[in-house]
Amino acid sequence: MNILLLNPNIRTDITDLMLQVGREAVAPGTTLIPCTAPRGVPYIATRAEAQIGGAVALEMLAERNGTFDAAIIAAFGDPGLFAARELFDVPVIGLAEAAMLTACMAGRRFAIVTFAQALGPWYEECVRMHGLMERCAGIRMLDGSFKQISDVQHEKEELLVELALRAVEENDADVLIFAGAPLSGLAARVAHRIPVPVVDQVIAAVKQAEALLALKMRKATAGTFRRPAAKPTTGLAEALAARLEHRDGSSDCVDR
C-alpha cells in the first residue's frame, strides 16, 4: 500500500527527516511516498500560514490523486485535514490527530511540547478542532529563536527535554508528544529520559494510516465527509479544479 507523506511546507530536508523516521516504522508492504509543498513557508506556525498551507495541500493531493492509498498531512496542526478528508476518496489523516489519538491510549492527558512560542495558539486550535481539550494537559513552547529549522531538535534537545519534564511534573501529563515536523525522531533519542510514554508523531501517523487501510474503510457517501457535489470553479489549480468539478474521472459514489 502507498501512503503519501505530504509535507505542506517547502523544506525538503524536513520531508526527508520525516521519511526516514517513518520508514523505520512501516509494516512490510507499506511504501511511503514523500512530497513537499511547491510554495508556502519553511514551517507552518500560525493560523495564516495554516490557511495558506492547507489550500496548497489540497492542490498537492489533487495532483497526485490516484497514486496513493492513504495520505498523511505531515504538519502538526493538520492544515487542510478536514477539507482533504471530505474531498478525496482515500483515508487522509493528520500528524497532530494521529499523535494525539494514539497518546490517548497511553494515558488520560497528553502534553504537547514544541520548539517555538508562535506555534502555541495554532496547536491549541488544533486540539479544540479535534474535540480533545479534555484529554490535553497543556501545550508548552520553548522561548527564544533557533538557528536552523532542520537542526532545531538537536540544538534544543536539552531544553526540549527539560520542558517535557516540566509538563509531566507541573501539568500532570500522562503522555508526551514532541510536536512539529522538525522534531520528528526526537522521541527515540530522549524517551528514556522522560518518565512517561512519548509519542513520535510520524510513527503514530504511519501506523494510523496502516490501521485505516487494514480496516478497508470506504469513502463516505453520507455524513459530513461525503464528497461534495460538483461545483463550477474559476482560476484554481487545474487538478484541484477538476476534482471540485468532478472532471477528474473518479466517481464519488463507487465504494472503494
Phi and psi at 198, nearest 5°, equal: -120, 130
CB 158 within 8 A of CB 193: no
Mark 16-35 with x for binding to a second copy (rule: CB under 8 A) and - for no binding: ---------x-xx-------
Query: Binding of a second copy at residue 95 (CB under 8 A)?
Result: no
How far apart are CB 158 and a second copy at their closest, in Å? 19
Helix pair angle (119-129, 95-104), 10° resolution: 60
With respect to a second copy, which residue has the nearer C-beta, 129 or 159?
129
With respect to a second copy, which residue has the nearer C-beta, 6 or 199?
199
Query: Binding of a second copy at residue 204 (CB under 8 A)?
Result: yes
Residue 217: closest CA among 93, 126, 74: 93
With respect to a second copy, which residue has the nearer C-beta, 17 or 97?
97
Query: Binding of a second copy at residue 80 (CB under 8 A)?
Result: yes
Strands 70-73 and 2-7 turn out to be parallel
CB 7 within 8 A of CB 75: yes
C-alpha cell at 15: 520531508
Mark 121-160 with x for binding to a second copy (rule: CB under 8 A) and - for no binding: x--xx---xxxx-xx-------------------------
CB 4 within 8 A of CB 68: yes
Residues in contact with a second copy, counted by CB under 8 A, come to a total of 98
CB 206 within 8 A of CB 32: yes
User: What residues numbered 49-78 form the site for a second copy, per CB under 8 A?
Assistant: 49-52, 54-55, 58
With respect to a second copy, which residue has the nearer C-beta, 160 or 241?
241
How far apart are CB 130 and a second copy at their closest, in Å? 7
Residue 78: closest CA among 24, 132, 31: 132
Query: Binding of a second copy at residue 230 (CB under 8 A)?
Result: no
